[in-house]
Amino acid sequence: MRLFQNASTLNQKLIFSIILLSVSNMANAACSALYNHQFSTLQGEKINLCDYQDKPILVVNTASKCGFTPQFEALEGLYKKYKDQGLLVIGFPSNDFKQELSDDKQIGDFCKLTYSVKFPMITKTSVTGVNANAFYKQLSAKTGQSPSWNFFKYVVLPGGKDVYAFSSNVKPDAVEIVSKINSSLK
């Protein structure tokens, strides 16, 4: 009798595990390819873009030693102003244009101490060419535009159907960007 009870318990655990795996796979399947990316941040956290597919996202490639670096202030300002309404501002430090510090700790310290950056900053990555990370490759393909310099921006509207590219010269708080974001805030 005890053998049958153990077998029954084992079967229940197996069925429960299969159900959990199925639910997990359905959640991942519900995440569109554009959002199906996970990153580590300079702040030591993990970020899964699937968690943000129903929110507007402002994506920017950054560099600590660039003439556009003061745009961190406007980026942080937008993040503070709109994060509770659903906006994700996310930075991708890159040395593709030879203006980024050498390691993630230096970049994180610079962003925090110089500009009080609290929005998620991803570990140093490539955003252009064949070495670009997969997310940036998708953004470039979707818009037909790759970053031509540091602080190039993308606005990804909920669902990823609409993605807009903005040059480095367009400030993060410019009307062109804020109007796109505002239409999707809660």
Per-residue pLDDT of the chain (186 residues; tens, 9 = 90+): 555 555 555 555 545 444 444 444 444 458 999 999 999 999 899 999 999 999 999 999 999 999 999 999 999 999 999 999 999 999 999 999 999 999 999 999 999 999 999 999 999 999 999 999 999 999 999 999 999 999 999 999 999 999 999 999 999 999 999 999 998 998
Look at residue 43 in the predicted model and tell me its pLDDT.
87
Half-sphere exposure of 41 (CA within 13 A, CB side): 17
Whole-number pLDDT of residue 5: 58
Active site residues: 66
Residue 14 pLDDT: 45
156: DSSP letter? E
* Per-residue model confidence (pLDDT) at position 80: 98
> In this predicted structure, what is the pLDDT of residue 27?
46
The predicted model scores a pTM of 0.84
DSSP reduced 3-state for 113: helix
What b/e string do you get for 156-166 counting C-beta neighbours within 10 Å, with b at 16 or more?
A: bbbebeebbbb
pLDDT of residue 32: 94
C-alpha–C-alpha distance, residues 25 and 157, integer Å: 24
